[in-house]
């Protein structure tokens, strides 16, 4: 599924669960101020741009993630760290 087409938080959380089942990682980055995928982590840490930035910004917006506190609330609601 194209994550940029998902507009409902519940559906986005389910897509993240499916991606995690096949080995993708997601985490909140204080540096980026949003949810990032594991592949972005080294780029974010080096201050480089990421090809995943646009889609991960959309994912964060749909889920209502704006800071670490909102990430923790969304994680509790949808169990994003279940795997």
For the entire predicted model, the pTM comes to 0.92
In this model, does residue 83 exceed pLDDT 70? no
Residue length, the chain?
A: 83
User: What mean pLDDT do residues 57-63 have?
Assistant: 98
**What six digits make up the tokens of 36?**
């990032």
**What six digits make up the tokens of 2?**
């194209």
Q: Residue 16 in contact with residue 60, Cβ under 8 Å?
A: no
Q: pLDDT (tens digit, 9 = 90+) per residue, 43-53? A: 999 999 999 99
Q: pLDDT (tens digit, 9 = 90+) per residue, 14-37? A: 999 999 999 999 999 999 999 999
Determine the distance from the C-alpha atom of residue 73 to the mean position of all C-alpha atoms in its chain, rounded to a whole number: 13
């Amino acid at each position: 599924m194209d994550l940029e087409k998902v507009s409902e938080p519940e559906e986005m959380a389910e897509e993240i669960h499916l991606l995690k089942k096949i080995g993708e990682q997601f985490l909140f980055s204080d540096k980026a101020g949003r949810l990032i995928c594991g592949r972005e982590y080294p780029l974010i840490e080096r201050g480089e741009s990421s090809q995943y930035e646009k889609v991960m910004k959309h994912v964060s917006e749909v889920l209502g993630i704006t800071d670490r506190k909102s990430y923790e609330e969304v994680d509790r609601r949808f169990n994003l760290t279940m795997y």
